[in-house]
Structure 1
Amino acid sequence: MSSPLQIFAFFCFYCQTSAVRFQPSPAQIVTESTEVQITCSHDDSSLSVMLWYQQREDSLSMTLIGYGYANSEQNYEGQFEKEFELTREDTLTGALTIRSANPSHSAVYFCAASTQ
């Protein structure tokens, strides 16, 4: 039997304004080998770039998974393209999908938005 994994999703933002509101996804406990989607949305249409980060429990640093623009190709860092999929519905919303969750994906995931 597969053991449950904990996938935590919290959101932060990086931009030049402090009036942006992010809608967070709740923390998730998932079964190994399942597909997991974490969504992100904000309310500032001038923030065209959405970035996704992973912070593992044993690390104080965050690792960039990738970033992208609405209706455009998404850009991944290193090995992350095989494990994750980034999607953008529009400028205000996006999602990070873990293709097949395994224990190495137990982490806190951050969404960020920027003008560049």
Structure 2
Amino acid sequence: MPSPVQTLGLLFIGFYCQVSAVTFHQSPPSIVKENTVVQIDCSHNDNSLPFMFWYQQRQDRLSLTLIGYGYANSPQNYENQFKEQFKLSRKSSTTGSLVINTANLSHTAVYFCAASTHSDVVQ
């Protein structure tokens, strides 16, 4: 008999890399319960990169899908399919968060943050 509480497995990659002397840190991997709020934090150490981008990579796809982007103290920009379910926030030019309002199985993916000097996006 199925359990009344379903568990949602979301893999959030603990992302640490150094590219051109910029270091990124992301929240560690997590497994969360369905219908909970999930927050993934990201930071980097370069004030000259004001734009932060968030991407989703689903298990069945090799490519990354842009969720949205923005810079500190400004409204964030979302791709249409992510507007209702996700919220992006920026605490400063080097820190930001991705929030999944009500996590469900369709959100199972690896999430990445990135930073840039401009908002030009290749999709």
What TM-score comes out, normalization by structure 2 length?
Answer: 0.87
- Selected match of 1:43 from 37, 42, 45: 45
Change (3 A) 1:23 1:12: closer
Give 1:80's aligned amino acid: F
Please state if 1:100 is matched with 2:108.
Answer: no
Give 1:104's aligned amino acid: S
Q: Which position in structure 1 is the counterpart of 2:71?
A: 69
Please state if 1:2 is matched with 2:30.
Answer: no
Give the CA deviation at 1:95: 0.1
Contact map agreement 2:16 2:23 (CA 8 A) in 1: no
Q: Distance in 2 between matches of 1:18 and 1:4?
A: 39
Give the CA deviation at 1:106: 0.4
Q: Which position in structure 1 is the counterpart of 2:28?
A: 26
Contact map agreement 1:12 1:111 (CA 8 A) in 2: no
- Selected match of 2:89 from 87, 90, 105: 87
Give 2:78's aligned amino acid: Y
Change (3 A) 1:101 1:94: same
Change (3 A) 1:99 1:35: same
Q: Which position in structure 2 is the counterpart of 1:52?
A: 54
5+ unaligned residues in a row in structure 2: which ranges? 119-123
Q: Cα RMSD over matched residues?
A: 1.4
Q: Percent identity?
A: 58
Give the CA deviation at 1:12: 7.3
Which one has the bigger strand percentage? 1
Which has the higher relative contact order, 1 or 2, with Cα contacts under 8 A spaced 6 or more apart? 1
5+ unaligned residues in a row in structure 1: which ranges? none
Q: Distance in 2 between matches of 1:6 and 1:90?
A: 30
Q: Distance in 1 between matches of 2:77 and 2:94?
A: 18
Q: Distance in 2 between matches of 1:2 and 1:98?
A: 19
